[in-house]
Amino acid sequence: MKTARIMAVAVLMVGGGLALQAALAQQPRGKRSTEGAPLRETVTVGADQPIPNVSGKRLVTHIVDYPPGVSSAPHRHGPAFIYAYVVSGAVRSQVDDEPVRVYRAGETWFERPGSHHRVSENASDTEPARLLAVLIVDAGAMQLVIPDPQ
């Protein structure tokens, strides 16, 4: 069990590094709609691969671009284990009952399986922000972001 955890963390770190390279190569998407309203966050899948040495799991990376002042709806990621890394800008986040915190470029956090991501938003009204989320999920999981009921 300890070996599996060490391998999972190693895969997470390597996958995160590769996805970070992809994230840094992309341009921010801080545009407005044709009606002039700010767009919601843009989520791009950077990687989606089975983890060969962890049976039944896959690594998925999401690159989340937040235009200035934009937030995500409160959500969960089901049984996913998540490592989040702020690539640029500043992201305000609250997971479960932890205090709301602003993470700046280079800072990270983890989300345990089943966590409730209550706040996820750009902390700036003038600058875009980019977040890299590395998810370890069940191989057959299809819905990776589960918004709160409206």
pLDDT for 15 beyond 60 = no
Helices (H) and strands (E) counted in the chain, each on its own, are: 1, 10
Give residue 146's pLDDT.
Answer: 82
Query: 20 pLDDT band (50/70/90 cuts)?
Result: very low
Give residue 52's pLDDT.
Answer: 94
Query: How far apart (Å, rounded) are the C-alpha atoms in residues 106 and 129?
Result: 12
118 Cβ contact partners less than 8 Å away, ≥ 6 residues apart: 74, 94, 95, 96
**Fold of the 2-147 domain:** Jelly Rolls (2.60.120)
Domain ranges of the chain: 2-147
Are the CB atoms for 20 and 52 separated by under 8 Å? no
Query: 140 pLDDT band (50/70/90 cuts)?
Result: confident
Query: Of 5-14, 71-80, 84-93, 97-106, which gets the smallest average pLDDT?
Result: 5-14
**Which helix (H) or strand (E) covers residue 9, if one does?**
helix 2-25
